[in-house]
Amino acid sequence: MKFAVRCSWLLLGLLGPMLAAAHDARPNYVQITETTPGTFSVNWKVPASMPGGALPYPTLPADCVAEREPAWQQAGAEWVGQQVFVCASGLSGRAVGIEFPIVNPSLSTLYKIKLANGEEHLQILKPDESTWVVPDAESRFGVAREYTLLGIEHIWIGIDHLLFVACLLFIARSPRRLLITITGFTVAHSITLALSALDMVRIPTPPVEAAIALSVVFLAWEIVKGDENSLTYRYPVMVSSSFGLLHGFGFAAVLRDIGLPQTELPTALLFFNIGVEIGQILFVLLLLAVFFLFRPLLVRLLWADSDRSVHWSSLTVPASYVIGSLASYWMIDRVVGFWA
């Protein structure tokens, strides 16, 4: 019995440090803060289970100059290191990492970088990863270009928004009324897009999407009725602006999923809206081009005597039946989705 007890204590003494090390699976932690342009304060933490001669240390680009040797101290259950570097070329778009003098005992590394311009970047390096390329710095031109393209792309894949714009075209008819109507829609959705993207106003996405489908149904029904004395035909800009506020919340939901830049937020919002406007204009021009291009074909299909007898109503009413039916399906499907 005594022999068994002694063996148990001996095994515990031998395996204890190994069990402690196995239990301590916390990652390394590196935080780099740009205190002044080009000057970086580097702080890192390593689990205390690591032996003193095998402590890892962060690595920065080769042209970064350390102001002093790394300072180590043990604080509770971890080693803490600190160092200051001067990097004339900064860290954006460049590689940083961590180096183990001996071997990495299967520890991950949590890397956090905060730059002087307000950008923050976070990355987890797996045990088999030793370097990470910091994302390029956000530039006003780069953000403007990226979010303009995102705005164009979104309006072109947002079929419900495009059908709403098509209905506005059918109702406005004249170029001047169309310009005013589309502008009212753009200004209105820009307001709610900004308010929602900045979290100043938040509305759940599913009801917004259902209401957007309903707005398309409403316009399609107005076109089918063809009552030119209705409020919709007399004041199309009022209708487009009212529904534009609603569509802005839909745009904001997509923009939140895409994500906004940390330093060029106004630029991103402005040029996303510009992109949406460009996409709308291109879509309207495409519709007009298709109509005038295929107008002779429509003459033959409709047994018309001349081009002049083919008017918007020859196309808009049948098209509105299709648009309204499709939007009705979307609306019902989205409402049912509330309880799915």
User: 94: domain CATH number?
Assistant: 2.60.40
Which parts of the chain are beta strand (E)?
A: 28-36, 39-47, 57-59, 65-66, 71-75, 78-86, 95-99, 109-114, 120-125, 131-133
Residues in CB range of 105: below 8 A, 6 or more apart:
21, 50
Q: Are residues 156 and 284 in the same domain?
A: yes
Q: Are residues 50 and 145 in the same domain?
A: no
Which of 133, 152, 171 corresponds to the end of one domain? 133
Q: Are residues 101 and 145 in the same domain?
A: no
Residue 313 confidence (pLDDT): 63
Q: Are residues 202 and 300 in the same domain?
A: yes
* pTM reported for the whole predicted model: 0.68
Q: Are residues 82 and 182 in the same domain?
A: no
Residue found by looking up tokens 């045990």 in the block: 127
Q: Are residues 109 and 145 in the same domain?
A: no
Specify if 316 maps to a domain. Answer: yes
Composition of the chain by helix, strand, coil, percent to 5: 55, 15, 25
Q: Are residues 169 and 79 in the same domain?
A: no
Q: Are residues 311 and 200 in the same domain?
A: yes
pLDDT in tens, 202-225: 888 889 999 999 999 999 999 998
Specify if 9 maps to a domain. Answer: no
Residue 302 confidence (pLDDT): 56
Specify if 46 maps to a domain. Answer: yes
Q: Which of 146, 98, 149 is nearest to 124 (CA)?
A: 98
Contact of 27 with 108, CB cutoff 8 Å: yes
Q: Which residue(s) pair with 95 in the sheet?
A: 133
Q: Are residues 178 and 242 in the same domain?
A: yes
**Domain span holding position 62:** 24-133
**Sites in the chain below the pLDDT cut of 70:** 1-26, 295, 298-314, 340
Distance CA 158, CA 187 (A): 18
Specify if 79 maps to a domain. Answer: yes
Residue 12 confidence (pLDDT): 34
Distance CA 165, CA 135 (A): 37
pLDDT in tens, 252-280: 887 777 777 777 788 888 999 999 999 99
Number of domains present in the structure of the chain = 2
Residue 11 confidence (pLDDT): 34
Residues in CB range of 60: below 8 A, 6 or more apart:
32, 40, 42, 85, 87, 91, 96
3-class SS of residue 199: coil
Distance CA 169, CA 184 (A): 13
Q: Are residues 172 and 283 in the same domain?
A: yes
Identify the sign of the CA torsion 154, 155, 161, 162: negative
Specify if 33 maps to a domain. Answer: yes
Residue 312 confidence (pLDDT): 56
Residue 255 confidence (pLDDT): 79
| Single-letter code of the amino acid located at 127 | P
Specify if 14 maps to a domain. Answer: no
Which of 100, 133, 166 corresponds to the end of one domain? 133
Residue 204 confidence (pLDDT): 87
Which of 73, 103, 133 corresponds to the end of one domain? 133
Specify if 1 maps to a domain. Answer: no
Q: Are residues 186 and 300 in the same domain?
A: yes
Contact of 180 with 235, CB cutoff 8 Å: no
Specify if 4 maps to a domain. Answer: no
Residue 3 confidence (pLDDT): 38
Distance CA 222, CA 228 (A): 9
Residue 311 confidence (pLDDT): 57
Task: Measure Cα distances from 42 to 23, 48, 245, 291 in Å.
Answer: 27, 19, 47, 64
Q: Are residues 109 and 256 in the same domain?
A: no
